[in-house]
Amino acid sequence: MSALQTPPEDPLIASVRLRGARRARWLRDGEDSVARRLAQIGVLGWITVVPMLAGIFAGRWLDRTYHSGIFWTAPLLMLGAGLGCWSAWRWIKSA
């Protein structure tokens, strides 16, 4: 390893730093309001539902176009659900 490269940070140290930063922000700003918490719940709902609806609409269009029953709708709905849950997880972890 050359002098210009730094070793990758240990995940435990990164987690401790993140927790410390969140605690410092909480001490500085205080507790979030009820309205802010409700807004976060609403955002999580939309983050989860929108990819599922997109999968349903795309699947229905493909099924109508190719006369295939629900061949495309079901898998695209599941794909949308997975994508929505993954997006929600990432949003929660970044907050």
pLDDT in tens, 13-50: 888 999 999 899 889 988 888 998 899 999 999 999 99
The answer to whether position 72 is within a domain reads yes
Give the per-residue pLDDT at 9: 78
In sequence order, what DSSP letters do the residues of the chain get, joined into one string? --TT--PPPPHHHHHHHHHHHHHHHHHHH-SPPHHHHHHHHHHHHHHHHHHHHHHHHHHHHHHHHHT-TTTTHHHHHHHHHHHHHHHHHHHHHH-
The answer to whether position 56 is within a domain reads yes
The answer to whether position 20 is within a domain reads no
Question: Whole-structure pTM over 0.75, yes or no?
Answer: no
89 lies in which domain range? 44-95
Mean pLDDT of the chain: 90
Tally of domains within the chain: 1
The answer to whether position 26 is within a domain reads no
- Between 85 and 33, residue with greater pLDDT: 85
